[in-house]
Structure 1
Amino acid sequence: MAQKGTSVRQEVGPASVRSVLLVPVPVERAFEVFAEELADWWIRDYTWSGSAALVELGIEPHTDGMLYEIGPYGFRADWGRVLVWEPPYRLVFTWQIGPDRAPVPDPERASEVEVRFRADDSGDTVVEVEHRHFERHGESGEGYREALTAGWQELLTGYHRSVTR
């Protein structure tokens, strides 16, 4: 079970990282902050534009929508595509950023992120994030999984701060 506070529990497998945390808001609000207020909690240094130049960061709210960033001079980088959009319970998207931080245009070579939101008995929300299929990134997949284990820990800590404001 997830713990209250900013604690993010992680389980690391050979081809996935699963993170679980508990946020003290209803499921609808937890989903909204994650999917619709991404720019409020995502670490801007984890973008191509960087913290000073990032103009917009978002998820187009529908199946086949894009995860994207817009930087200086209209620069747009798509990070992945929404595979499942089921508010407020589930979101699945491709992660089309390679271990070298280069775009991965082929979705068959991209990893995948699934985010689930479910109410617990107290009305809080359990948020489960599973980043999987690192093997699709080739030989660098294992190292990438290790790097993103720390990355998701930091990102979800920021998400928790944002959702509890």
Structure 2
Amino acid sequence: MSRNADSEPEGRVLPLARPPIRRSVLVRAPRERTWAVFVGRMAEWWPLDLFSAGRERVRDVTVDPRVGGTVAEVWDDGTTLPWGEVLTCAEPEHFAMTWNITGTPTEVALRFRAVAPALTKVDLEHTGWDRLSADELRADCALPGGYSGGAIATGWDRILAALQRAAAEEDE
């Protein structure tokens, strides 16, 4: 049984069936370095064994840092698999891209905010889950439970923790 907007009580806000994933992390590094590690050194810190299509075959992750540019994994045989298209590239503050790994594109946006000279808050928002089919949400992914089981949220926790470590390591 379906309902239309006119049948809902006035002023009632319905929760999103598939809300955005939001994550934040504090990185013990200046904002410019955190940005440079995220955009320029992704293959060095991204957990490719879990979060890539090529896994052990991936030799690089490239980011063409301009609107319309591509983020892609490059395999040892030269195969290139696009992860998405850059939507926003405002160094060192905001980066957004489509995320095409799910089948239907979603969007990932990151904001880099300096909270101290050597401390950066990175806020991530992954939206567009409402566009995915039930089959896409149930699809197998790197972590148990698939996307519908919350694996993508756990995945972003792992990815941001890897960024946090990589950006901070330069001071050691």
- Normalising by structure 2, report the TM-score: 0.77
| Deviation of the 1:123 alpha carbon | 4.8
| Deviation of the 1:163 alpha carbon | 0.7
Q: Name the one with the larger helix percent.
A: 1
Q: Which runs of 4+ in 1 moved over 6 A?
A: none
Q: What is the CA deviation profile of residues 48-106 of structure 1, one whole-angstrom value per residue up to 9, with x for unaligned ones? A: 2212x2121121111111010111321110010000010000000000012xxxxx3xx
SS at match of 2:132: helix
- Residue in 1 aligned with 2:47? 43
- Residue in 2 aligned with 1:63? 67
- 1:135/1:141 contact within 8 Å kept: no
- Residue in 1 aligned with 2:127? 132
SS at match of 2:25: strand
* Percentage identity across paired residues of the two chains: 29
- Residue in 1 aligned with 2:165? 161
- Of 27-36 and 137-146, deviating more is 137-146
- Residue in 1 aligned with 2:147? 144
**5+ residue gaps in structure 2?**
1-16, 139-145
**5+ residue gaps in structure 1?**
1-12, 99-103
- RMSD over aligned Cα atoms: 1.8
Q: What is the CA deviation profile of residues 112-150 of structure 1, one whole-angstrom value per residue up to 9, with x for unaligned ones? A: 000001111565111001111111222244852611011
Q: How does 1:1-165 map to 2 (within 5 A)?
A: 14-45=18-49, 46-51=51-56, 53-98=57-102, 104=103, 109-121=104-116, 123-139=118-134, 140-141=136-137, 144=147, 146-165=150-169
> Quick one: which amino acid aligns to residue 144 of structure 1?
Y
| Deviation of the 1:36 alpha carbon | 1.0
How far apart, CA to CA, are the structure 2 residues paired with 1:57 and 1:75? 12
> Quick one: which amino acid aligns to residue 131 of structure 1?
H
How far apart, CA to CA, are the structure 2 residues paired with 1:121 and 1:97? 35
How far apart, CA to CA, are the structure 2 residues paired with 1:61 and 1:22? 23
- Of 76-85 and 143-152, deviating more is 143-152
